[in-house]
Amino acid sequence: MRKSWVLGVGLGLAASVWSAAAQQPARPPETIPGMPSVTDPANLYSETGPDRLSPAVANALSRVYVPNLKSNDVYVIDPATLKVVDRFRVGVNPQHVVPSYDLKTLWVTNNAEGRTDGSLTPIDPATGKPGKAIPVDDPYNMYFTPDGRSAIVVAEALKRLDFRDPHSMALQSSLAVPECAGINHADFSIDGRFVIFTCEFQSSLAKIDLVARKVLGYLRLSKGGMPQDIRVSPDGTTFFVADMKAGGVFVIDGNSFKETGFIQTGVGTHGLYPSRDATKLYAANRGSAHIHGPPRGKGSVSVIDFATHRIVATWPIPGGGSPDMGNVSVDGKVLWLSGRYDDVVYAIDTMSGEVRKIPVGKEPHGLTVWPQPGRYSLGHTGNMR
């Protein structure tokens, strides 16, 4: 009897200890030097809620900035009226409008496809007006190191990452990524130690050590597709990779750098955007598995539950369309996406899926909504933390 009693007490104590441990909040990860601390280890998007606008954006106009790849201009939309209120010329082949790390500048990445006159055009968010362009090699996209010390210009055609001063854009160093043809989109680990880039033309991913600034390895995706945007889960463990040819989203374990699943979404899956409450991931399905698709394709948006990896809603574009890249409004009620092959912008109600369309220039691409909540920007069209 005594042995049984002792065993029971021991098991009871163990269960109590386990229960107490399970109730303890997760310890914040040790971030790289200079990177802001992680407020909530279970939700790295905790500081991007509707009530989290930084004082740095207090004077910013409420606008949607739309780079038009083929007409070499930026259209400016007032989200309150859904009207185009301005347009201005920029460099050749503007791809994305990228918020700076300090939230004080928006950068238009003009990569001048097949040419050597790439540039970055700054926009002042307080006036909505462009400044003088800075010559930069092949800036297809741009990110920022989590410590804010460098801009990362993604020189896609050169298979290279150029680390530059985040203000002057003076070159600091370059990193060759030779086995990543079509390097374009990225997202970062919760502690800022590594970043994963997609390799569009090599059906793979590249993992980069941001501290040592070296390539850690490559991962070939199982379906041999065309990976596009990538987003990390709220807890920082999982990376979701949109794939245009596979028509879905690959699920990747960030630490082990292994493929763990696949979520079938729609035709031409391209852009990925977290909801304001960080419970859902919006996947824009461009309606074509080809780089140059037709208008009025089978475009749609798939709503993925972050926790279960299941699709909880699908919003087709009425009459067909090509939803591509964008972001979410401050209050989370509108998902703004460019209609790449239909020369429009979609304003999609995130409760009903209702779609409104605004005509813009030729081949709108990586639009951004500004301002957005968050302490700092890691780049792209507003990868906020």
Report the candidate in 170, 149, 242, 190 with the shortest Cα–Cα distance to residue 43. 190
The hierarchical CATH code for the domain 41-370 is 2.130.10.10
The residue-averaged pLDDT of 297-318 equals 98
- Residue-wise pLDDT for 317-374, tens only, equals 999 999 999 999 999 999 999 999 999 999 999 999 999 999 999 999 999 999 999 9
CA distances to 117, 192, 287 from 176, in Å? 20, 20, 33
- Residue-wise pLDDT for 221-237, tens only, equals 998 799 999 999 999 99
CB 298 within 8 A of CB 72: no
Give residue 241's Cα distance to chain centre: 10
CA distances to 96, 141, 155, 314 from 203, in Å? 22, 19, 18, 26
For residue 107, pLDDT beyond 80: yes
Q: Where are the domains of the chain?
A: 41-370
CB 306 within 8 A of CB 270: no
Computed over every residue of the chain, the mean pLDDT equals: 94
d(CA 268, CA 288): 5
For residue 113, pLDDT beyond 50: yes
For residue 167, pLDDT beyond 60: yes
pTM of the model: 0.93
